[in-house]
Amino acid sequence: MTIREFKMPDVGEGLTEAEILKWYVQPGDTVTDGQVVCEVETAKAAVELPIPFDGVVHALLFEEGVTVDVGQVIISVETAPGAGDAGEAAAVAPAEAAPAAAVAAEEEPAPEGRQPVLVGYGVSTASTKRRPRKAAAGTPAANGTGAPAPAVAARNGSAAPVAPAAPAAPAVSVPAQPDGERPLAKPPVRKLAKDLGIDLAVVVPTGDGGIVTREDVHAAAAAAIAPAPAAVVPAPAVAAAPAAEAPVPVPQAVEASARETRIPVKGVRKVTAQAMVNSAFTAPHVTEFITLDVTRTMKLVQELKEDPDLQGLRINPLLLIAKAVLVAIRRNPDVNASWDEAAQEIVLKHYVNLGIAAATPRGLIVPNIKDAHAKTLGELSTALSGLVATARDGKTSPADMQNGTITITNVGVFGVDTGTPILNPGESAILAVGAIKLQPWVHKGKVKARQVTTLALSFDHRLIDGELGSRFLADIAAVLEHPRRLITWS
């Protein structure tokens, strides 16, 4: 039997960690290639992880509720010799195996295979191959061992002890990266290096195939702060727990006392909180309100529900409100824009990715309907239904939440009349729809009970001035008051 390790996949999108929500297997269970073994939550969505090989679960290295860095081993599986997918992490020999076998396995090139990724991210064929690196004296490939050579350890600030059996040859200076080559590192490692101010070109890689690891970056950062004295004297070790070390479970809620409960903020809630802070204190918000009679729109909703051409589709007020917003954008195209801070430019969008704010058990998310402006009423209904269902199931992919332009948030479903919504970062406006209620209203010179609601539009005053914002909101209201304008203004 061979023990194979499955690591937290590199999810891309700048994400560096994920929380394990639920394990679907336990030690001793048999697993097959492609079987989902756990569900994890990144900062953007909850996704399921499939195992890339067959075998029997040997150990679960982290408990549910623990946040794990990308690249850490989360589960080990016993597989038959030679079985499994060699494209993932290389099989590790049992503790009693001879070191020579490990060296031989390391020198043998692994066959190309399937790469495990998060559901919805796809597989990058380029990720299965790495550029060959020239072996140099003092590197792991050159000295024939899996551990970094003394020169490498000293340069990175590592404290791996070296006890040679015989006098070693003088250490040869090794460049961190060959001239002209881009350092090999995964996106989370590059982000870490950028955050720490470390140039990857000067970091000596110790990962397989000459890849710079997180440990290399941390070591280089520590070495920059406190340089090692001499090559013959190992520098102090950088404190870091090994990937296979048993984790300490992090409870979902920590009770401080009988009167308080502390809940860790992470995942979607953490990212949403930070995004809202950034938006509120970056974009100058303006909010305008309008109260209107939507009785005709509500009657149209009932008529469309009975239309045989729309059977099977979900017809509700939000659908017609979304259509009204799209018509108003067509009449006021300048509202559909974004602010480029670096270039100090306004970027006009010739497409509408209409965001729909959705409350989920894991927090508020805003997926968007791509190219909503080009969809028919039926297509828009299908897209809305699928978007909301996916969001409530916690299966929204990061791609569905990117590149939104304008958002609708329906606070009326909670019985709320109105509010002052905060812009989704990077977008120009957000429309809050209040509760639709029977209220006294002057209609044709008489006070009657009519279906009335209040709309609130928040917009970025760098992009939309008061006149444009007012026209845009008035047009939305005009369509909802007289829904025939869905046709006459289209």
Q: Provide the pLDDT for residue 34.
A: 86
Q: Indicate whether this model's pTM tops 0.75.
A: no
Alpha-carbon distance of 310 to 226, in angstroms, equals 70
Active site residue 461: yes
- Torsion over CA: 403, 407, 413, 418 (sign): positive
Contacts 24+ apart (CB under 8 A), 246-252: 246/61, 247/61, 247/62, 247/63, 247/66, 247/68, 249/63, 249/65, 249/66, 250/65, 250/66, 250/67, 251/65, 252/65
pLDDT at position 181: 64
pLDDT value of residue 245 = 39
89 closest CA partner among 201, 211, 247: 211
Nearest CA to 252 among 62, 67, 38? 67
Cα–Cα distance, 280 to 191 (Å, whole number): 25
- In a structure prediction context, what are the per-residue pLDDT tens digits for the chain, which is 490 residues long? 788 999 988 655 556 788 888 899 999 999 998 898 998 887 667 778 889 889 999 999 999 888 888 889 999 999 875 554 443 443 333 334 334 343 344 444 444 444 444 443 344 444 444 444 444 444 444 444 444 444 444 444 444 444 444 444 444 344 455 555 667 877 677 777 777 778 888 888 888 778 888 788 877 777 665 444 444 444 333 333 333 333 444 444 455 567 888 877 776 667 777 777 878 878 889 999 999 999 999 999 999 999 999 999 999 999 999 999 999 999 999 999 999 988 989 999 999 999 999 888 777 889 999 999 999 999 999 999 999 888 888 788 878 888 999 999 999 999 999 999 999 889 999 999 999 999 999 999 999 999 999 999 999 999 999 999 999 999 999 999 999 999 999 8
Domains and CATH numbers, the chain: 1-129 (2.40.50.100), 148-262 (no CATH), 268-488 (3.30.559.10)
Annotate 212-237 with DSSP letters as a single string. EPHHHHHHHHHHHHS--SBTTBPPPP
- Which residue, chain included where needed, has tokens 């209904």? 381
Phi then psi dihedrals of residue 328, to 5 deg: -65, -35
Give the per-residue pLDDT at 302. Answer: 95
Q: What is residue 85's predicted lDDT score, i.e. its pLDDT? A: 43
Closest to 223 (Cα-Cα) out of 215, 208, 143, 177: 215
- Residue 409's alpha-carbon distances to 65, 203, 224, 281, 365, in angstroms, are 30, 47, 48, 20, 11
> What pLDDT score does 108 carry?
44
Catalytic choice (58, 373, 461, 482): 461
The pLDDT value given to residue 243: 38
For residues 45 and 39, what is the distance between their CA atoms, to the nearest angstrom? 10
Give the residue among 469, 439, 432 at the shortest CA–CA distance from 454. Answer: 432
Per-residue pLDDT, 249: 42
